[in-house]
Structure 1
C-alpha cells in the first residue's frame, strides 16, 4: 500500500493533514457556535452553514483557473496565509452584540477561510496528480489518492476531540459545564419569548450550574462564556496551519517539479503530456460534468454531519455512553484500533519473517493497551454532540486498507469497477445510511414540537444509531470521494487540470449549499421524512449515473 510512491506524496499528504485538522476542528463546533453566540434560528444557521460550505468548495474553481495560469505552488502558499488570517479573526472573542462587531468579524473570517481554501485545496491535489503523470508511478494513482484522502481524515479524526477539550476547559475555568438546552432557553429569555415551561427549565438549569445571580445575568454570562470557549476552539486551526506551512515549504524539494502548470511546463520545454484532439477534450469534459452533477447530491447528503446530524446528536441522542459503545468516544482508543488494523495488514503483506513478527507484536500490544484503557474507563461517560463527527474520519482511516485490498484483488482478476461505476455504488450505499437514520427516528417528536422546552427531546435514542450511519456513509465516501478526485486528475485535459479539479469542488460547493435545504426541513416535518428526502436524492442519483454509464466509460477509457 505504501511502497513505490514518490516522496512528495507523503509531504503533500502531511501538509494537508494539518490544514484539515484545523478546518474540521472549526467545523465540529461551527453550527453550535452560531446558535450559542448569536441565537440564530435553525433556518438562519442552515443558511450560513450551507453558504459557507458552498464558498469553501466553490472557490477552488477560481483557484484552479488562477493556478493554470500562474502555477500551483504559488496558489497553495498564498492559500495557507489567507486561511491563517481568517481563522485568527474567528478566534478573537467579541462581546454579546448580536448585530455588531462579532458578526462583522465572523463573516469576514468565513470569507477569508473560503478564499484561502480555494487557493489551497484543489491545487494541492493537482500537484499530487502531477506526481503520477510520471509513467513510473501512473499505475498507483488511485492508491495514492486513497493514501492522501486517509491523511485528510487523520487530521479530521482528532478535530472533534480537540474542539471539545478546548471548549470544555474554558467553560470549566468559568465554573460552567456544557448543557445543550441552555443556549436556546437563554436566548429566548433575553428576547422575552420564553414560555412558562421553558422558564421553569432554565431556572432549574441555572441552579444545576451553581449560579447565584438572577436569570438575566445567568443567561448573558453563560452565552458569553460558551461563545468565547468556541472562539478558543477555533484558535486550534491557526496552530495547525503553521505546521502545514512548515511541512509544505520544508519538503518542497520532493515535489517541486509538480507545482508548475501545463502552460509553465511548455514554456520550460519539459512538457510530456499527450495532446488531445478537440473532440477528445469535449468528450472528457462532458463526462466529468455529468459525474459532477451526480456528486452534488452525495455532498448534500454527506455534509449533514455538521448540520442536521449534529442537531440529532444534540437533541435526540443520549449524551451518556455505556458498555462497549464507550470505547469509540475516546480518540486514543480509536488510534489503537487503527494501529492494530494497519499492523494486521502488515502481517500478511510483509515479505520477511522478521517484519511479520514485528507487525504481529504491534497488533498484540495495541489490543492489550486497548483492553487496559477500556477497563479503566468509567462505567458511563458523558459525550458532547460534536464528538460524533470523529467516527467518519476514524472509519475512513481504518477502512482504507480494506478498500484498497478489495479493489487490488479485483484488479488482479480484471474485475475492478471503473471510477464512475464506483461512484454509482457509493450513491446506493449512501441511501442505505440514511435509511438507518429514518428507522432510528421513528416515533420521535419533530423539532418544532420541542422548541418551547429548549429543543431537546425527553426520549433519547442510543448513540449507536448515529455511529452505524457514519459507518455506512464512510463506505459510500470511500467509493466516491478519493476515486472521484483520482478520476478527475486522470481524465481532465492537461491544460484544464486546475479548472476541472476546481469544478469537482464547485459541484461539491453546490451540494454543500443544498445542505441548507435539509436544514429548512428540520422543524415542521417528522424526522424520518427528513432522512427520507436524502434517501430519495441518493437513490435517484444512482439510477441516473448507471443510466449513462456506458457513455461515461467510453469517453474516459474506462478510467
Structure 2
C-alpha cells in the first residue's frame, strides 16, 4: 500500500489533512455554537448546519468548471485563501445580534465556496500523479492513503475543539458561547499550515500543473472516446448511475447525523463522565496507539524480511506498553463532552481501511467478492442496523427538547451506545463511499464522465441538505425511537431498492 507512490502524494495529502483538520474542528462544535450563541431551536440550527453541508458538497461542481478554465492549481490556492477569510470572520466574537448572524452567514458562504474550489480539484491533482505508467497500478492504494490522511485530520479535530475551548474558559475567563470562536480560530491556523505545505513541497507535483494544456486535454478526450458506447448503452449506464445517486442521497442524510442529532444525543442523553477502560476511548492518544497496533500487525504478517517483521513487532510492543501505562495512570472519572464522539468515525476509518482491503482481497481470491452495487446495498443495510441499534438503546428515554437544554438530568445511557453506533456506521461508509466513487468512474460513459462525477457530488449535497429533517423532528414531540426508526427505515428501503435492481447494475459494472 505504501510502496511505489509518487512523492507528490504526500505533499497533497498533508495539505489536505491540514485543511480537513480545521474543517472538522469547526464542524464538531458548530451546531452547538448555533444554539449556545444565538439560542436557535434545534430545527433552525439543524437547517443552517445541513444547508452549509449542502453548499460544501455542491460547490465542487462549480469549482471543477472553474478549474477547467483557469487551472486546478490556481483554484486550489484561491480556495485556501477564501476559506481562511471565512474562518477568520467566524472566529471573531461579534455578539448575538443580526449583524453577528449576518457575518456568520457570510463566513459560511466563503468557507463553502473556498472548499468547493479546493476539495475536488486537489483530488484531480492527486489523480494526475498516477497518469505516469510507473505509478498507474497503485492508483487505488494511493487514494486509500489520501482518504486516510483526510480522516487523520478529522480524528484529532474534536479533541482540538474541546481543549481550546476549555483553555479559553479557564485561562482567559471567556464565556462558553465566546469560547467557540477559539475553536473556529484553530481552522485559520490549520489553513496556514496547509498552504505552507502546499507551497514548500510544490516541486513534488509541479509536473502535474505544468501538464494543464488544452492539447493534453484534447488528446485525453480522444483516447477516452476511442471506444465510444452506443446511444442505448450510454442511456443504460446513465440511468443506472442516477438510480445509485438516488440511494446515495439517503445514505448521506443518515450518515451525517454525526454532527447533528447524534451530537445532540451525546449532549442530552449520554453520561457526562466515564471511568476505567471506557474512559481511555476519549483520549485520542490511546486511539492512535490502537491504530499503530493494527498497522504494525499487518506489517508483521506481510513483511518479507526479518528486519521488517522485527520493526513491526517493536511497534506493537511499544503501542501496547503505552496503553498499559495509560490504563494504570487513570485516576477517577473523565469528563465526556458531546463533540468528542465525532473522533470515533475517522479513527475507525483509519484503523479499518487496511482490514477492509484485506477482507475483500481474500474474498476476491476465492471468487466470493461482492460486486460494487452489492457492496453499496450492503452498506445501506449496515447503516440501517446502526440506527436500529440507536433505537433499541434509546427506549424509555424522554422526548427531545427544542432549545438545546438537557432533555433530562435523570436517565442517561452509557457512552458505549454511541461508540458502537459509530463503528457500525463506519462499516457502512467503507462499503458505500469509496466503492460508490469507484463505481461512477468505472460505469460513467466517457463523454459524460465529468458530469456523472459532478452528479455524485450533487447527490451528496442533497443528502446533506436533508440532514436537517431529523433535526426538525427533534423538536416535534416525537420519541427518539421514532426518529432513529425513520432513519433506519429509509436506509432499509434504499437497500431493498438497490437489491431489486442489482442485476441491472451488475450488468453495466
Normalising by the smaller structure, the TM-score range is: over 0.9
Displacement of 1:327 in angstroms is: 1.0
Matches within 5 A, 1:32-431: 32-95=32-95, 97-99=96-98, 101-175=99-173, 225-259=175-209, 264-266=214-216, 273-275=223-225, 276-277=228-229, 279=231, 281-431=234-384
CA 1:452–1:324: 2 relative to 1, 3 Å: closer
- What is the CA-CA distance between 1:31 and the residue it aligns to? 0.5
Closer, same or farther in 2 for the Cα pair 1:376/1:232, shift >3 Å? same
Q: 1:415 to 1:259 in 2, by over 3 A?
A: farther
> Would the alpha carbon gap of residues 554 and 413 (structure 1) be closer, same or farther in structure 2, given more than 3 Å must change?
same
Task: Determine which of 415, 418, 433 is the counterpart of 1:463.
Answer: 415
Q: Is the 8 A contact 1:420 1:549 kept in 2?
A: yes
* CA distance in 1 between partners of 2:196 and 2:13 (Å): 13
Instruction: Measure the CA separation in 1 of the matches of 2:316 and 2:452.
Output: 42
Structure 1 residue 323: deviation in Å? 2.1
CA contact (8 A) 2:87 2:111 kept: yes
Mapped to 2, the partners of 1:282 and 1:356 lie a distance apart of 52
- In structure 2, do the counterparts of structure 1 residues 261 and 428 end up closer, same or farther at CA, with 3 Å as the change threshold? farther
Give the 3 Å change call, closer, same or farther, for CA 500–251 of structure 1 in structure 2.
farther
Question: For the residues of structure 2 that align with 1:312 and 1:123, how far apart are their CA atoms?
Answer: 35
C-alpha distance after superposition, 1:17-73 (max 9, x if no partner)? 111100000000001100011000111101101111111111111112222343322
Q: Give, in whole Å, the separation in 2 of the partners of 1:451 and 1:253.
A: 51
Corresponding residue number in structure 2 for 1:216: none
Q: Deviation at 1:334?
A: 0.7
Flag the 1:8–1:482 CA change in 2: closer, same or farther, 3 A: farther
**Is this contact kept in 2: 1:142–1:486, CA < 8 A?**
no
After TM superposition, give the deviation of residue 351 of structure 1 in Å.
1.2
Query: 2:497 maps to what in 1?
Result: 544
Equivalent in the alignment of 2:11: 11
The equivalent residue for 1:509 is 461
The total of aligned residue pairs comes to 505
Judge which range, 75-84 or 28-37, deviates more: 75-84
Contact 1:63 / 1:502 at 8 angstroms: preserved in 2? no
Alpha-carbon displacement from aligned partner over 1:147-184 (angstroms, at most 9, x marks no partner) = 22111110000000000000011111355xxxxxxxxx
Gap change, CA 1:515 and 1:481, over 3 Å in 2 = same
Q: Is the 8 A contact 1:68 1:499 kept in 2?
A: no
Counterparts of 2:218 and 2:55, CA distance in 1: 34
Structure 1 portions without partners, runs of 5+: 176-223
Distance 1:467 1:428, change over 3 A: same
* C-alpha spacing 1:483/1:13, structure 2 compared with 1 (3 Å): farther
Q: In 1, distance between residues paired with 2:270 and 2:201?
A: 44
Structure 2: how far apart are the matches of 1:365 and 1:17? 26
- Contact 1:407–1:416, Cα closer than 8 Å, also in 2: yes
Alpha-carbon distance in structure 1 between the residues aligned to 2:10 and 2:189: 20
CA contact (8 A) 1:326 1:381 kept: yes
**Secondary structure of the equivalent of 1:475?**
helix
Query: Does the CA contact (< 8 Å) of 1:122 and 1:502 recur in 2?
Result: no
CA change 1:329–1:17 in 2 (3 A) is same
CA pair 514-228 structure 1, distance change in 2 beyond 3 A:
same
Select between 138-147 and 536-545 the one with higher mean Cα deviation: 138-147
| Corresponding residue number in structure 1 for 2:400 | 447
- 1:481 maps to 433
Instruction: Please give the TM-score of this superposition, normalised by the length of structure 1.
Output: 0.85
Pick closer, same or farther for the CA change 1:287–1:79 going to 2, 3 Å: farther
Alpha-carbon contact 1:323-1:380 (below 8 Å) kept: yes
CA distance in 2, matches of 1:490, 1:237: 35
Instruction: Tell me, in whole angstroms, the C-alpha distance in 2 between the residues paired with 1:64 and 1:267.
Output: 14
Aligned residues of 2:271 and 2:412 also touching (Cα < 8 A): yes
For the residues of structure 1 that align with 2:70 and 2:421, how far apart are their CA atoms?
Answer: 42
Answer with 480-489 or 269-278: which moved more. Answer: 269-278
**Would you say the 8 A contact 1:80–1:116 is kept in 2?**
yes
User: Aligned partners of 2:59, 2:382: CA distance in 1, in Å?
Assistant: 29
Q: Secondary structure at the match of 1:143?
A: helix
Residue pair 1:437, 1:469 contacting (<8 A) in 2 also: yes
CA deviations over 1:421-463 (Å, ceiling 9, x no partner): 2211111111111111001100001014x97975344210000
